[in-house]
């Protein structure tokens, strides 16, 4: 099987410096500015879905400053009001929606910064684990509501968790095992939707034998269109091994989760 690097053939476009996007968000974070931003990105990418970032408000809520306190960062993440995002989803009724979700480690790092968090991973192991568990639980609660409001695809990635940087042991504990726990929590609430895992994550889950994927032939000419069809299959909850940004490349392949392996 190919490595995840061959499947991650297209990095997600960074719109943080896009002048049109920044002009919209300068008016503040609300359902109207988020919708305008997402619709503009859909137009730029010619995408069949609206891509709705679940963490677009965090940087603004933090006052655009890094938070050097794990508990404070966790509180900010877990006490967010998701009403704005749910309002966006409601206004998009009838439009296919992809909700982009980051893993707990990446979400925490986005507020604390890498230098601070990497130090704390060794010094405050219990605190970091508790933070990640709480973020997972909070995110699943939001996903449950988002699916009920009409989200079709959840795109999951943990981009800041890189084993070459934090080491295999910490990568497994804070990202891969945390992702497995997150999937177990989310699975009961995915009816009518599907969660697609970044191949870096799905291959790592297989590496540690936490789950396995079966090859599925993509009968559509677009990966996202195939995911939209699979989202209506009651017995399919997770897919992976192919970059969700792969567009026309590798569209004859997709991998469906066989089963989450029970853990002792």
For the stretch 222-238, pLDDT in tens is 789 899 999 999 999 99
pLDDT-derived band at 4, boundaries 50, 70, 90: very low
Q: For residue 92, how many C-alpha atoms fall within 13 Å in the half-sphere facing its CB?
A: 29
The dihedral region occupied by 121, where left means phi > 0, alpha psi between -120 and 50, and beta the remainder, is alpha
Whole-angstrom distance, CA of residue 263 vs CA of residue 255: 22
Which pair of structure tokens corresponds to residue 169?
């042991």
Percent of the residues in the chain that have a pLDDT greater than 70, as a whole number: 92
Q: Does 32 have pLDDT greater than 70?
A: yes
With contact defined as beta carbons under 8 Å apart, do 207 and 11 qualify? no
Which pair of structure tokens corresponds to residue 216?
């599925």
Give all domains of the chain, ordered by start, each with its CATH number: 39-260 (3.20.20)
Whole-angstrom distance, CA of residue 157 vs CA of residue 200: 8
Looking at the whole model, is its pTM more than 0.85?
Answer: yes
Q: Does 59 have pLDDT greater than 60?
A: yes
Which pair of structure tokens corresponds to residue 147?
């699916």
pLDDT tens-digit series, residues 93-144: 899 999 999 999 999 999 999 999 999 988 899 999 999 999 999 999 999 9
Residue 195: closest CA among 209, 179, 214 = 179
Greater confidence (203 vs 11) lies with 203
Given this model, what pLDDT does residue 11 score? 56
């Amino acid at each position: 099987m190919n490595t995840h690097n061959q499947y991650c053939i297209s990095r997600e476009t960074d719109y943080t410096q896009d002048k049109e996007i920044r002009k919209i968000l300068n008016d503040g974070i609300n359902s109207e500015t988020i919708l305008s931003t997402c619709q503009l990105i859909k137009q730029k990418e010619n995408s069949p879905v609206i891509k709705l970032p679940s963490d677009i408000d965090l940087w603004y809520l933090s006052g655009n400053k890094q938070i050097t306190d794990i508990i404070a960062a966790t509180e900010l993440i877990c006490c967010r009001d998701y009403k704005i995002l749910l309002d966006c989803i409601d206004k998009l009724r009838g439009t296919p929606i992809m909700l982009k979700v980051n893993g707990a480690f990446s979400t925490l790092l986005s507020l604390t910064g890498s230098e601070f968090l990497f130090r704390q991973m060794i010094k405050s192991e219990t605190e970091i684990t508790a933070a990640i568990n709480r973020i997972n639980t909070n995110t699943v609660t939001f996903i449950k509501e988002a699916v009920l409001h009409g989200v079709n695809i959840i795109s999951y990635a943990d981009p800041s968790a890189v084993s070459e940087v934090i080491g295999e042991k910490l990568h497994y504990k804070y990202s891969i095992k945390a992702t497995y726990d997150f999937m177990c929590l989310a699975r009961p609430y995915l009816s009518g939707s599907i969660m697609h895992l970044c191949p870096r994550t799905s291959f790592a889950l297989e590496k540690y034998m936490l789950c396995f994927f079966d090859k599925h032939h993509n009968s559509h000419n677009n990966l996202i269109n195939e995911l939209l069809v699979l989202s209506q299959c009651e017995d399919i909850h997770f897919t992976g091994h192919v970059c969700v940004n792969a567009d026309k490349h590798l569209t004859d392949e997709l991998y469906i989760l066989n089963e989450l392996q029970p853990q002792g």
